[in-house]
Structure 1
Amino acid sequence: MKKNKLLSTALVAVIASAAAFGAQAADKGFYAGAGVGQSFVDEGAYDDEDTAFSVFGGYQFNRYFGLEGGYADFGKLEPRGAGPELEASSVYLTAVGTLPITDKFSAYAKAGIQRWDLDTAIPSVVGNSDDSGTDPTYGLGVQYRFTDHVALRGEYSRFEIEDTDLDLAQLQVRYDF
């Protein structure tokens, strides 16, 4: 809990300092960012949530399209009853379509592929002995740009892991170079 409060305070400080500069979004170029939020799973033997973290980077080709790659750590997910805890993470590559609503506010959708990794195989999936694999990922988000270089994003993504859906809701800070 103390860790979450510290991260939230740091995120608010970054956003507040960025708001002091105000400007318009760049149409193209490289960007990078980080996020914090909650991972959720409610399937099979698992019904849990935990704090999740991500880092990402990409290239914005124009104001409507970009490619983004990243890493997400979903934390530890505990089973409903007996069974092992799962620690999950993912490396992903997505295409991002952006719809500008105003000069500073936009909505976006993303879809792509991800390589997931578990510390142990999911026991509820029949015949599953893998602790890593490749599956689709997709999500929706909104972005508010404080300056030419700094934006705040709210994103909800789904990461498919075998037949299990792992959801991720995050606040992210994006920095454009």
Structure 2
Amino acid sequence: MKKAVLAVALTTTFVAPAFATNSLNPFADEKSGFYLGLGAGAADYNDSYSDYEKENDRYSGNSEYTKREGAVNLFAGYRVNKYFGLEINYTDFGSPDAEYNSPGGSVHEDVENEIKGYGIKAVGFYPINTNIELKATAGVMKWKVEEDYSITNSAFPSVNKANSHSEKGTSLTFGLGANYNLTENVAFGLQWERINDVGEKYDENKTDTLRFGENDIDLYTLSVQYKF
């Protein structure tokens, strides 16, 4: 998978500038060109903390698990023509945290996460009219989950501990959306994107494991972009 990501990145690096010159791009039209954008919205973590939650349910108590957080997406791309483009992006998926308190409150567990990633994707466009176009995306994303865990036990302070664990990986992504072209250079976008299998499966017998678990992330964003 890493070789595939590198190959696509190198292709984008050398091919996109060539396309910037109409004489080298047989598909060039009035839509061709570079664009930059910023998106904001929410990330749904679907099955986050599911196995960790099952473990805590055996001991009752009170638990809270973040299933949705704010997210920010920065992206840049090259529009080959009105039907096809290539795009790179960096996404902050927020901080899906968790907290557990035992009956009576003697045991407290706290989990804090940060999830970020960067990727590359192909974008297909389908113009409806001058202002509105639909789009579909497919690509890969390199992500990193960083997790801090701590446990405090007022009855048995000797078991108190804190540790950190991180996990990296590469996932396939796909999405659907639409753009509204406000002017020749400014457009607003609405998009849903799925990032598959982020994280790692939780193992309660290991200390260096992600309590966040492994699950798909759904990203919903409203964006604005500037076309050069």
Which TM-score band applies after superposition, normalised by the shorter structure?
0.7 to 0.9
Q: Does 1:134 align with 2:133?
A: no
Partner of residue 76, structure 2: 57
Distance (Å, rounded) in 2 between the aligned partners of 1:138 and 1:158: 6
Which of 100, 108, 111 does residue 138 from structure 2 map onto?
Answer: 111
Contact 1:111/1:137 (<8 A) preserved:
yes
Among all aligned residue pairs of Structure 1 and Structure 2, give the percentage whose two residues are the same amino acid.
34
Q: For 1:141-177, what per-residue CA distance to the aligned partner results, in whole angstroms no more than 9, with x for missing partners?
A: 1100011100000011111215410111110001100
Cα deviation, 1:53-85, whole Å, max 9, x if unaligned, reads 111000000000000001010111023755622
TM-score of the two chains, using structure 1 as the length reference:
0.76
What is the match of residue 15 of structure 1?
none
**Superposition pairs for residues 8-157 of structure 1, below 5 Å?**
26-45=30-49, 47-79=66-98, 81=100, 84-120=111-147, 131-157=167-193
Long gaps (5+) in structure 1: 1-24, 122-128
Determine the C-alpha separation between the residues in 1 that align with 2:88 and 2:48.
29
More strand, by proportion: 1
Structure 1: which 4+ aligned runs deviate by more than 6 Å?
none
State the partner residue of 1:173. Answer: 224
Q: What is aligned with 1:3? A: none
d(CA) in 1 for partners of 2:219, 2:191: 8
Larger radius of gyration: 2
Note the residue ranges of structure 2 that are not aligned, 5 or more in a row.
Answer: 1-28, 50-64, 101-108, 149-164, 200-213
* Aligned 8 A contact 1:92 1:115 in 2: yes
| Contact kept in structure 2, 1:47 and 1:80, CA below 8 Å | no
Deviation at 1:30, TM superposition (A): 0.4
Distance 2:99 2:48 in 1: 9
What secondary structure sits across from 2:94 in the alignment? strand
Are positions 1:159 and 2:195 aligned together?
A: yes
Give the TM-score normalised by the residue count of structure 2.
Answer: 0.60
* Equivalent pair of 1:48/1:79 in contact (CA under 8 Å): no
* Matched pairs, number: 147
Contact 1:34/1:56 (8 A) holds in 2: yes
